[in-house]
Structure 1
């Protein structure tokens, strides 16, 4: 067996990839869940901007190496993958540096906080032989995968409308996190944050979005300043189908919900990833899918990424693919600002 020149361990006949998690804050625990489920991956570095916090997280996770200097990780020849769980404005910068250092990259959504940085990263990833995946975990989860298969099989006929509703109270996630209160680092409010997931799902199921009309406002989250806590987005797809997304970060419901409904000529598909419900309606007969094991795709996305590396394929949510989500979100902001319908092709890097 030929061993990898950069010192990877092997499990039977498969290489075990060493992973460095950069930005090990609260959300990184979800990435830990994904990596620990992989037999051919191991977290070997934890990076945080504060050395003591990096040490504490490394001890919590049982990881030997920690640092506050991410460049140490990029210089380590035994690191194969870097996982960036960072503020939006650092995504493109560090992902490009990681590629230049010869590392595969997983990065949190969104692609970047503006179209210029997003395009730079998409171009760099496309030009590289290394793999880059945006962690749009919903696209890899049970419900979205099942809906995609049903649509491809023609179960509900030609789909003509999709509706998504993100009824969330996520103010807790912003407490004590300074960058989440800075528009220049976030790029926007609930739409570019949680809404990115929903837009990605809608595109995955229905195809590319070509036109956007939107309204946004801040009703009950003054800490966000000029950024929105609530958004309504109307979309037109290349197929001619329509879409509607409502998203709020200040929901007053008993519990959060993230629901989608796809309407077709012969029936409908409905699911809610929080309620863990999945229904299909064919010829006006509704049935619940009891056989599904609900997941948010946290494990499946990492499995998919490792497969893309081994098989030399492009990840489903590559940076170039996710440019469609960036254009849609930024078109929504432009529509809200100008009061007009905006074509996504108008959103281009200068």
Structure 2
């Protein structure tokens, strides 16, 4: 492999900036692998593309993402556009021989996700999805604890994901309330908890779901109101073999900012974790004298890899963007043919099938197997 890799970025919103920061920082943090070269940035207009390219440090800018795909200096493409555009862009990039780092969810329609996965297999290129929460040093530690049998045999899981960016009933209508973006909380939110369940517990085997709209309409920019077409709340019963579970997601939960609250119960203890306090976990071991039993808090530190690549001292804490840098490094490992902790398009398609099974369960009011 060359000592550099050419990067293309499509989309420069919140997640686009996260990707740009990750590409800029990954070499400095980890030291190994090729040095990313920020070759080409594409946006909806040339003016916006040029402005963002100047801010992010990209060499070229285009108002047409196809020009980026055709650029021979681009080896890997970051796709951070709204959900409806993922499939067309990812397939085009793979067919052009590029590696792909696409934000979740994979696609709005299952058939599009299947096309993306097939394109990745045909191309032989690396294609992964932006499931950065699995990269957390504390999530890695939870996986290790479960593997060591620290809480015995896992028998029940509860996981919640809540934010309040859609909690205000008078917040203006935008694309996340359009049916073209997907189901709503299920594919916008639930996919993140599903990635954690996949890594820590395994594949869901059966689901029973219910979705809800807290608000039927939202104000539009023109002064009227528009019917909300997606569900901001979803509740799911699920099974992973013999393990039972509960999943609850809410995009309109006042006071919750970035909550992914995970509780894992086993025959010999429990583990608790919350993304709002991402640098700690709690573990309860049902051993020893009962009077001395209780939850122990573990703070993230250099012993919890790859925390040590960022900070040499415990208790200082990593952040969301640091998880993206770790994810970027795992992508580069995969491109080099090394073992990597990623959700590739094959695994991502499995998550998409579960989401669509949940939607069918809500529609048909019954248990569904993905």
Q: Above 0.5 in TM-score?
A: yes
CA–CA separation in structure 2 for the residues paired with 1:307 and 1:221: 45
CA–CA separation in structure 2 for the residues paired with 1:175 and 1:48: 26
CA–CA separation in structure 1 for the residues paired with 2:173 and 2:200: 33
Query: Which structure 2 residues correspond to residues 38-57 of structure 1 after superposition, within 5 A?
Result: 38-39=26-27, 40-57=35-52
Q: 2:259 aligns with which of 241, 257, 260?
A: 257
- How far is the alpha carbon of 1:47 from its aligned partner? 0.6
Distance 1:287 1:234, change over 3 A: same
Q: What corresponds to 1:282 in structure 2? A: 285
- Given the alignment of the two structures, is residue 137 of structure 1 paired with residue 159 of structure 2, yes or no? no
Q: What corresponds to 2:325 in structure 1? A: 299
CA–CA separation in structure 1 for the residues paired with 2:344 and 2:173: 28
CA–CA separation in structure 2 for the residues paired with 1:265 and 1:199: 23
Distance 1:22 1:170, change over 3 A: same
Q: What corresponds to 1:85 in structure 2? A: 80
Q: What corresponds to 2:236 in structure 1? A: 233
Q: What corresponds to 2:178 in structure 1? A: 182
Q: 2:217 aligns with which of 218, 222, 246?
A: 222
Q: Which runs of 5+ in 1 are unaligned?
A: 5-9, 345-350
Query: Which structure 2 residues correspond to residues 1-350 of structure 1 after superposition, within 5 A?
Result: 15-39=3-27, 40-171=35-166, 178-184=174-180, 186-220=181-215, 222-223=217-218, 225-238=228-241, 240-253=242-255, 255-276=257-278, 277-283=280-286, 284-292=293-301, 293-296=317-320, 297-311=323-337, 316-344=342-370
- How far is the alpha carbon of 1:182 from its aligned partner? 1.9
How many correspondences in the alignment? 330
- How far is the alpha carbon of 1:313 from its aligned partner? 5.0
* TM-score normalised by structure 1 residue count: 0.88
CA–CA separation in structure 1 for the residues paired with 2:115 and 2:318: 35
- How far is the alpha carbon of 1:254 from its aligned partner? 6.2
CA–CA separation in structure 1 for the residues paired with 2:103 and 2:216: 24
* TM-score normalised by structure 2 residue count: 0.84
Q: Which runs of 5+ in 2 are unaligned?
A: 28-34, 219-226, 287-292, 302-316
- How far is the alpha carbon of 1:81 from its aligned partner? 0.5
CA–CA separation in structure 2 for the residues paired with 1:132 and 1:95: 9
CA contact (8 A) 2:43 2:62 kept: yes
- How far is the alpha carbon of 1:306 from its aligned partner? 0.3
Q: List per-residue Cα deviations over 1:227-257 (Å, max 9, x = no partner).
A: 111110111113x101111111111226442
- How far is the alpha carbon of 1:124 from its aligned partner? 1.7
CA–CA separation in structure 2 for the residues paired with 1:70 and 1:193: 23
CA contact (8 A) 2:207 2:358 kept: yes
